[in-house]
Structure 1
Amino acid sequence: MTGAGGKVALVTGGSRRIGAAISRALAKAGYEVVLTYRTSGREGKSLAERIGGSAVPLDLSRPSTFGRFADRLCRKVGRLDLLVHNAAVLSRTPVSEASPAAWDAVFAVNLRGPFLLTRALLPLLRKGRGDAGVLFLGDANAFELWPGYLPYCLSKLAVPPLVAGLRKALPPGVRVGVVRPGLVLPPEGFSAERWERLRAEKAGRRGIRTPEGVARAVLRFARSGTYNP
């Protein structure tokens, strides 16, 4: 496999689930991987050690910390070639339980945080070797508007328009893309039997269905070599 020439990738929520698959694939492709975690520090540090990367804490719901995070990252790696917005809140939030705090908790991590983190890291992205990339993870099934996950679905439906806007707004040399996984992994606490039944019902739908498939899509974006107009 052709290496990435010493390039640096940041994967938010890169210690578990889909994020861990992305971190492993990027490391295998030759990237120096910096993965972030919020509560899974032990898993993150263990994975980082195995792939020769590093794990750092980051809470996407606290944008006041992004400037300091960017400064620390600059001192640590000096530049950034790929930013993968993987971290997300996927919590069951029925309408009866969708308090202002619950609503804000989803949108803060799934939409506001990635936008503001991208802005904070733009100077580092522009220091990359050649073109830099910013990749968001959407959700191929968000349009279903699952009643128990309505804030999550709405936040993910907003990702493609955000990407379209950033393609126009970000400077040349910073590419922006989106990957839309399908039914890859169940939410925490979701019944395994119900999950397999749901996957069988949606078997003919589009959307990547394995963590490794998502990771391959991330690598395709990283290697595409095209720029914003």
Structure 2
Amino acid sequence: MTSKIALVTGAARGIGLATTKLLIEKGWKVAMVDRDGVELKSASAGINAGSAFIYDVSIPDDVDEMMTKIIEHFGRLDAVVNNAGVANFGRIEEADLSLWRAVMATNLDGVFMVSQAAVPHLKKTRGAIVNIGSISGLRASTLRVAYGTSKAAVIHLTKQQAAELGEYGIRANCVCPGPVRTKLAMAVHTQEIIDAYHDAIPLNRYGSEAEIASVIAFLCSEEASYVTGQVIASDGGFDSTGVGLPALRT
């Protein structure tokens, strides 16, 4: 049976790498895309069903060339996972336009451009788009004016994609991770921050990269053949509780 082909952006680390590995376990082949060439080459070493493509999804010419190379290499495309993202945190009054644009260029423009480039190929396979949003796109938080706004826009873009591409059999869904126990998060989150997140999340813990990857892989698969236009918060219940939950537990 011909292997299905997935394109995963931001595949050099974290959720993107975990998704790549899980899809390969399930029989897929994966085009691993990242602009960090050194990290991508290291991550892809030894992953026989994964092929590295060093491109920056915020650059239009990169996206066009990337898609051409991927189709030349694999011959088809069955799913796109728009995972590449950047985060610059700071107060609204300190967020200048250059910071705003840098976040939007990758988090929103990149999702739009990669998806658009993929559509002609996904029409042929009646494939899937999975965009990675964030809990920060569902509920506002301090210091995230650019990041949260970009992810909220990705959520709506997903619904637009589902509405317009459904007639071609293309499904589009969005996964919004809550706090995830990545190396980066654990390096910058103080114990006070970790405790506060645990108090606010009904499951009382961070999620894992593998747990997010399992939701993404499901949405790429035929098991989700009638699921489109959905926003799934993989967040331990964080979004459902709103504010004030810790004080109400007792």
Matches within 5 A, 1:171-190: 171-185=167-181, 190=188
Q: Aligned-pair distance for 1:206?
A: 11
Give the count of matched residue pairs. 223
CA distance in 1, matches of 2:76, 2:204: 35
1:166 partnered with 2:161: yes
1:50 partnered with 2:37: no
Q: Name the TM-score, length of structure 1 as normaliser.
A: 0.87
1:226 partnered with 2:218: no
1:217 partnered with 2:215: yes
Q: Which residue in 2 is equivalent to 1:148?
A: 143
1:123 partnered with 2:120: yes
**Equivalent AA in structure 1 for residue 157 of structure 2:** L
CA distance in 2, matches of 1:157, 1:72: 31
CA distance in 1, matches of 2:102, 2:91: 14
8 Å Cα contact 1:93-1:149 kept in structure 2: yes
**Equivalent AA in structure 2 for residue 80 of structure 1:** L
More deviation, 79-88/42-51? 42-51
Q: Which residue of the other structure, out of 14, 27, 32, is the alignment partner of 2:29?
A: 32
CA distance in 2, matches of 1:207, 1:25: 22
8 Å Cα contact 1:141-1:183 kept in structure 2: no
Q: Deviations over 1:120-174 (max 9, x none)?
A: 121222233xx30000111124344222221101111122211111111124221
Q: Aligned-pair distance for 1:81?
A: 0.5
**Equivalent AA in structure 2 for residue 8 of structure 1:** I
SS of corresponding position for 2:84: coil
More deviation, 69-78/136-145? 136-145
CA distance in 1, matches of 2:87, 2:123: 31
Q: Which residue in 1 is equivalent to 2:240?
A: none
RMSD: 2.4
Task: Report the CA distance shift for 1:126/1:227 in structure 2 as closer, same or farther (over 3 A).
Answer: farther
8 Å Cα contact 1:79-1:124 kept in structure 2: yes
8 Å Cα contact 1:13-1:36 kept in structure 2: yes
Larger Rg computed on CA atoms: 2
CA distance in 2, matches of 1:121, 1:206: 38
Q: Which residue in 2 is equivalent to 1:198?
A: 196
SS of corresponding position for 2:11: coil
CA distance in 1, matches of 2:194, 2:12: 24
Q: Which residue in 2 is equivalent to 1:102?
A: 99
Q: Aligned-pair distance for 1:20?
A: 1.1
Q: Which residue in 2 is equivalent to 1:6?
A: 3
Q: Aligned-pair distance for 1:178?
A: 0.9
Q: Name the TM-score, length of structure 2 as normaliser.
A: 0.81
Note the residue ranges of structure 2 that are not aligned, 5 or more in a row: 230-250
